[in-house]
Amino acid sequence: MVGEGHSFLGNEYDETQTTMMDEMVILVDENDNQIGSMSKVESHLGNGSLHRAFSIHIFNSEGKLLIQKRAASKITFPSVWANSCCSHPLDVDDENEMADDIGVKRAAVRKIEQELGIPPSQLPLSDFHLITRMHYLAKADEKWIEHELDHILFIKADVTLDINPNEIDEVRWVNQQELAELVNGSPTNGQHIAPWFREINDRFVSNWWGHLDEMASLQEDVVHHIGDVSATNEASLLDALKCHSNAVETRIITALEKTKHAKLKNAMLHLIEGGGKRLRAIMPWLVADACGGASDSLYDLGAAIEIIHNFTLVHDDIMDNDELRRGREAVHIAFDMPTAINAGDAMLAVSFELLSEAEEISYENFRSLISIIGKMVRKVSEGQQLDMDFENRDFVSEEEYLTMISGKTAAMFTTCARTGAILSGTSNDVIENMASWGENLGLCFQLMDDLIDATGDSETLGKPACSDVVEGKRTLIAIHALEQDSAQLPTFNLTFGCGDDDTPKETLDLVLEELTASGSIDYAKDRAMEYHQRAHACLDNMPDSVALQILRQLTDWQLVRIS
């Protein structure tokens, strides 16, 4: 089945390869449900359209893997080393049948014969094993992209080859060590590895190679949402957040929409509908990925923690008398005070309900998660109470302030990291290391928030600038400033705790100038940098990987938020 529209490619590419760009691939959603079809050329242009694909790994009786160097004539990713065969099932009756992945297996046999010349008789469909599925992006250049939901299949077979030179420049049978040397030596060895193959090898093949006689037991019915694995091998935090946001967003909305009371439901959804990157919701998945064992259960966990986070914001805004949150009315302003309190209570209950219904979380892990998350909620409440107590005290020490934000803010980061590591199945030492990373990240995050409040503008913040100073909040900036000679900070001392939301901008500008001149801004920045460095030190204890690069970018992102 072919479409129309490859003619604009002209004579720039190989004629045979250009003709195949008219084949109709299967468009899917992020759960691998077919939603349409599109020509191969259209689906690979610009930002790409998510479509079904496959990556075949053929092992022989000696346990060696067949790999191929894609032909220089290929339109996307020419002259790179990849797995035995990779392509797409087409939108035809035989290849879009999903039962037992039979459509993909038929497509694989068709494409293997076309590329490698292996007769179908040597590749019985029953011998193919769908190991897992991977959703990824990979940019070939400014024009072409792969955006695929890739079915990763293994087959063990001794085969005869008749290579199609239009598709393949070279093939090799390699053992695990030989492949590792090829992949790890790229590109200094003069060879380039297809980004999806590198990802598959790092995540799956290297772990499962020794179990080729147990392929059926390796199979898992999940989709790993990997994000951008472009050929530069530079992981992107924003791409990762974007890649995972839909999965957690769906779970959050589904959980909050369970209530049949329209007003309560709308109040519960109010802050969620205000948007956000869902950092806390996605963090457990990112941590588990870096620990080597991410799964869809991390989305349920992340969604539950995100709902709890928003519950605390609803109640915080009431306690702090804040009228704005994320640039929109706080829940108690948009609705009313009793409804906001009730909505927050319901959100807390819903989060635990969501966790209890997560089928992929074992009973043992569920007990651990409930205990850890329960302690987190208690610590957040204790931190909030300390924060309110500080407003009625003449003196708050730096140590007391750090204890307060360890509960109010960092506890949630620590929990995201700890629980993500637990669900990855890693060792206790790694779990504790990642929990320490989360604690230091959370402390850095809150100190950066304090700096943003002091140095940002109202339009960007979604609330009045310097609101912490006006409200008399004992932030680290304020604690340092209050210890300085009051003659150096006359405007700050007059404004601190005045409670006047209509304080003129000119006055607040003077407050910032005094905080800067006194060294209070730099002092808070320096402390933030200490926790930033401690967080990176925790990551230094982990094996390097693309997933770990994402966590490093997340750690650094705390600093660039005020740039």
Q: Which of 235, 237, 232, 229 is nearest to 186 (CA)?
A: 232
Confidence band, pLDDT 50/70/90 cuts, at residue 81: very high
Q: Is the pLDDT of residue 8 over 60?
A: no
70 or 187: which leads in pLDDT? 70
In terms of average pLDDT, the best of 63-77, 218-232, 429-443 is: 429-443
- pLDDT computed for residue 147 by the predictor: 93
pLDDT at 330 over 80: yes
Mean pLDDT (whole number) for 504-521: 94
Higher local confidence (pLDDT), 151 or 202: 151
Give the list of residues 6+ apart from residue 305 with CB closer than 8 angstroms, or none. 280, 281, 284, 351, 373, 412, 415, 416, 419
The span from the CA of 491 to the CA of 516, in Å, is 13
- What's the pLDDT score for residue 1? 39
Dump pLDDT digits (tens) for 194-216: 999 988 988 788 678 878 888 87
3-state SS class at 154: strand
Three-point CA angle 157, 114, 38, nearest 5°: 115
**Residue 49: predicted pLDDT:** 92
Flag whether pLDDT at 227 surpasses 60. yes
Summarised one tens digit per residue, pLDDT across range 109-126 is: 999 999 999 999 999 999
Q: Do residues 521 and 454 lie in contact, with contact meaning Cβ atoms separated by under 8 Å? A: yes
State residue 366's pLDDT score. Answer: 96
pLDDT given at position 562: 47
Q: Mean pLDDT across the stretch 317-323?
A: 88
Quick: pLDDT tens for 23-33. 999 999 988 99
pTM: 0.65
**pLDDT (average), residues 358-369:** 93
Task: For the chain, list the domains and their CATH numbers.
Answer: 7-234 (3.90.79.10), 239-560 (1.10.600.10)
Percent of the chain as helix, strand, coil, to the nearest 5 = 55, 15, 30
pLDDT at 548 over 80: yes
* Averaged pLDDT for residues 333-360: 95
